[in-house]
Amino acid sequence: MNQIYLSVVVPAYGEEKRIAETLNAIDKYLKNQKYSYEIIVVNDGSKDDTGPVVEQMIRKIKNLKLLDNRINHGKGYVVRQGMLAAKGQYRLFTDSDNSTPIEEAVKLLPYFNQGYDVVIGSRDVKGAKLEPPQPLYRRFLGRGWWLLTSIVVGTWGISDTQCGFKMMTAGAAIQTLPLCKIERFAFDPEILAIAGKKKLKIKEVGILWRNDPRSTVKATSMVKMFFDLLKIRLNIIKGIYDGKPRPIR
């Protein structure tokens, strides 16, 4: 059996009202491509009907799969779960709100032919387009997070660790994701920190990102993200990321 070319992983929590629109958009694009694909939704213990909505769509969308967790683990956990369950030669995880349209994948894929292992979407490098632009206070918070992450975790050279549109080879996923420990807020920089320690080649590519002006960053979330960064730093010091990866539980 030939390996699937592209796996698209969509972590979802409380998305019953917009998951169908996102999945239809992803499928509409992928079914017109010349490569094989799969779409994997990982339900993170949603209390609404996210799971049942996806189950209904499996009848309509080719190669759509559902990993239905009964309890909430956190986005980091379910991203890893989906990426490791995927069968694709290349594996992309993207936000369930479709903030970065699936069409942007075409910008990332060519870099794998240039020897890159991890190719990530970015809102802060040349070629990025934000609709509408982020307000000043969000840009200020973003730069502060970049500096903090770079200092604590060592992700210097990566402008946007948090964009939820990241792709990697199957080999890179297997090398990095089972070593991850952060299940919630700061899982993105953890993945990049481990990839760096494994000497994997990382490329940052400007993408289209649709900013939802209704979204807010809670102070409590920022505090939790900071403590997650400290956990990552401690794991680096302890050498936890130096070992051989073990399968996710």
pLDDT in tens, 96-148: 999 999 999 999 999 999 999 999 999 999 999 999 888 887 888 889 999 99
Query: Which of 109, 31, 90 has the alpha carbon at shortest distance from 63?
Result: 31
- Domain around 8: 1-98
24 shares its domain with 73: yes
Same domain assignment for residues 74 and 131: no
Last residue of one domain, picked from the residues 63, 98, 133: 98
For residue 114, tell me if it sits in a domain: no
**Are both 76 and 197 inside the same structural domain?**
no
- Residue 128 in domain: yes
Q: Which pair of tokens denotes residue 77? A: 């956990």
Q: Into how many domains does the chain fold?
A: 2
- CA dist 17 → 54, 98, 211 (Å): 11, 13, 18
Q: Which pLDDT score is estimated for 221?
A: 78
Whole-prediction pTM = 0.93
Task: Mention every residue, 6+ apart, whose C-beta is less than 8 A from residue 224.
Answer: 184, 185
**In this structure, are 3 and 47 located in the same domain?**
yes
130 and 81 co-located in one domain: no
CATH number reported for the structural domain that contains residue 68 in this entry: 3.90.550.10
Is residue 142 in a domain? yes
Per the prediction, the chain carries an average pLDDT of 93
The band of 248, judged by pLDDT with boundaries at 50, 70 and 90, is: very low
Q: Is 142 helix (H, G, I), strand (E, B) or coil?
A: helix
* Structure confidence by residue, pLDDT tens digits, 168-187: 999 999 999 999 999 988 99
Answer whether residue 235 shows pLDDT above 80.
yes
Nearest to 117 by CA among 6, 241, 5, 200: 200
**Same domain, residue pair 126 and 89:** no
Non-local (6+) Cβ contacts of 168 within 8 A are 83, 90, 91, 117, 118, 119, 176, 195
Confirm whether 147 is domain-assigned. yes
Which one of 98, 133, 148 terminates a domain?
A: 98
205 and 86 part of one domain: no
Q: What is the end-to-end Cα distance of the chain in Å, rounded?
A: 27
Give a yes or no: residue 158 inside a domain. yes
The verdict on 158 and 248 lying in the same domain is yes
Same domain, 136 and 206: yes
Are residues 92 and 125 located together in one domain of the fold? Answer: no
**Cα→Cα distances 216→74, 116, 195, 248, Å:** 18, 33, 29, 31
What pLDDT sits at residue 120?
98
Q: What is the DSSP string of 63-91?
A: TEEEEEESS---HHHHHHHHHHH---SEE
On the question of pLDDT at 249 being above 80, the answer is no
Is 10 inside a domain boundary? yes
Whether 215 shows a pLDDT value over 60: the answer reads no
Q: Pick from 98, 133, 160: which residue ends a domain? A: 98
**168 and 89 together in one domain:** no
Domain assignment of residue 219, yes or no: yes
Do 249 and 208 share a domain, yes or no?
A: yes
Residue 113 forms part of a structural domain = no
